[in-house]
Structure formats: C-alpha cells, structure tokens
Amino acid sequence: MPELPDLTVYLEHLERRTRGAELIAIRLASPFVLRTVTPTVAEVCGRLVRGWRRIAKQLVLELDGDLYVVIHLMISGRLKWDRVGVAIPKRLGLAALDFSTGTLIFTEASKKRRASIKLVSGADALANLDPGGLDVLDASLAEFAARLKSANHTLKRSLTDQHVFAGIGNAYSDEILLRAKLSPFKQPGAMSDAEIATLYDACQSVLHEWTERLRAEAGEGFPAKVTAFHDEMAVHGKYKQPCPVCGAPVQRIVYAENESNYCARCQTAGRLLADRSLSRLLKANWPKRLEDLE
C-alpha cells in the first residue's frame, strides 16, 4: 500500500501537472470504484484545480466551488500520468481523470477492488473522511508522545492505525521500528521517555529519507515504481535475509493480510515473536530465541 513517502511524491507531481488546469471529465471503467452518489460526476467536471492534499492515506483533489475528488489507493491502487484522453487499461483500469494538461489513470492490481473514488461537496463533508490520525512530520515530540500513549495498541498497530498516526503503513513501520530498535509488540504504556523520543526521531528520519529517495528516483517523470518492497529497505520484505545492522536473519510475523518484519537481535533482545497461527499449531515446539533456529 502506498504510504506517506509515496503519497507525498505522487502529490508533488500531480500538483505540478494539474494546478490551474481544468478537470474535463472522469471516466469510470469499473462501476464499483465510485463510492458516492452526490455530487455527481457532471457537477465536478468543468472546474479548475485549486490543488492537492493528503488526508491520512487518501489523495484529495481540490476543485473550484468547494468540491473534492478523494482517491484511496488502498493496497493495490496505482496512478499513471499520460496524454489527454488515453484509453483506460482493460484489465487493471478503474478510472481516468482527464485534465486539460493530461490524463490521470487509476489502476488496481487486486481483484478485490478495494480502491475507491469519492466525490465530496464542502469542507465539512471532506473532514468526515479524516480518520483523525496525527501527521508525525508536523507533530512535536510532546504531541507525538501524547498521541502514542493514548492508543491501547502495540507499537506496530499504533504506527499503522490511521486513527492514531496518519500515513504510515506496514512497510515503513517495520523500517521505523528497526531504526528505533524497538519490538513491534511493545506496549506504549511500558515505554520510557527516552524510548518515545527515539521512536519519534526514527519516524522523522525514516519518512524524510524515503521521501527524498523516492523523489530522486522519480526525477521529472511521474512516479512509476510505487511499491511496498524496495531493495534498499532494511527489514520489510527481507525475511531470512541478514539484518543490515547486525547480520542476524530477519524474522516475520504473519497475520491476516499483513506481516511484521523485525530483527530479533536488534529489537527483541534475541527473543523470537510467535506468529499466532503457528504458535497455536506448534505450541511448545515454537522456537523462543535466535539460537533455537540454528
């Protein structure tokens, strides 16, 4: 799923290409992608673009007349910039937004069709789509600490819950927690002030570094390689590969459709965290420490 660094770079390119342009048309290839009834597509078309913004993991196109187009990419949604009026891809295409300067193609690789477009009228209605998460990059350490302590979650869940923090997902939370050398299962209430400060600094540094990296990779071209898995990542998607900090094999916990990747040596003092399903299956045979895997 595209997260804060990916979405930031998307926004910068969309702003550059469409600010002041006219939204000519919205073409829908899938009837399920549009999740609202009012305002209508006809009502939002023919208006000038005032800008773009982000609400949590949603991209918001702001139009004249206090109208908005809200795009949620979910896990597999992606965007592509092309010439005006280009055809929507048949297999993956969901929609196309035709501007006077070019066309934004909206695709989704998953068959589950979770990605969406919502058309919104008025600032109050737009605010209702905000889950309320704190934007870490705009927050002070005190604000970050207060929000973290208010959540009755593990660190991994706190970082990825859009009601707690905005824009961070599965991939960058793994990278942040390794940078902070904290267990994904640690409870915020059990953290010292020093640990919270370390986590805050890790959020800032990881998100800034990856935004700059993705910005440099895209260059002047529209971002084409938007993925949760990058070769340069330290632990996310690196199961069994050596941790770049200590060399121990990266571990993972799989749950639902997500997974948490971590280094047992750097983050949990060598203790292996039990995958819920496997630990129930293996019971006493579940390995407890790195040494048990050797």
pLDDT tens digits for range 179-219: 999 999 999 999 999 999 999 999 999 999 999 999 999 99
Q: Which residue has the higher pLDDT, 273 or 216?
A: 216
pLDDT beyond 50 at 165: yes
In which band, very low, low, confident or very high, does the pLDDT at 30 lie, cut at 50, 70 and 90? Answer: confident
Mean pLDDT, residues 14-33: 96
* Confidence band of 278 (pLDDT split at 50, 70, 90): very low
pLDDT (average), residues 6-31: 97
Q: What is the mean pLDDT of residues 119-144?
A: 98
Residue-level pLDDT at 275 = 64
Phi, psi of 28 (to 5 degrees): -110, 120
The full set of domains in the chain, from first to last, is 4-127 (3.20.190.10), 136-293 (1.10.8.50)
User: What burial class does residue 45 get, using C-beta atoms within 10 Å of its C-beta: 0-12 exposed, 13-18 middle, 19+ buried?
Assistant: middle
Instruction: State mean pLDDT over 163-188.
Output: 96
Q: Average the pLDDT over each of 18-22, 100-104, 273-277 and give the range with the smallest value.
A: 273-277
- pLDDT value for 276: 55
pLDDT in tens, 43-74: 999 999 999 999 999 999 999 999 999 999 99
Cα 174 to Cα 178, 208, 248, distances in angstroms: 6, 15, 16
8 A C-beta contact, residue 165 and residue 136: yes
User: CA-CA distances (angstroms) from residue 64 to 10, 31, 46, 77?
Assistant: 21, 25, 9, 26
Whole-angstrom distance, CA of residue 272 vs CA of residue 252: 9
**Structure confidence at residue 112 (pLDDT):** 81
Distance of CA 291 to the CA centre of its chain: 34
Amino acid letter, 178: L
pLDDT exceeds cutoff 80 at 122: yes
Crossing angle (nearest 10°) for helices 193-218 and 4-18: 40
- In angstroms, the CA 123 to CA 112 distance is 30
- Residue 256's pLDDT is what? 67
The SS3 of residue 60 is: strand
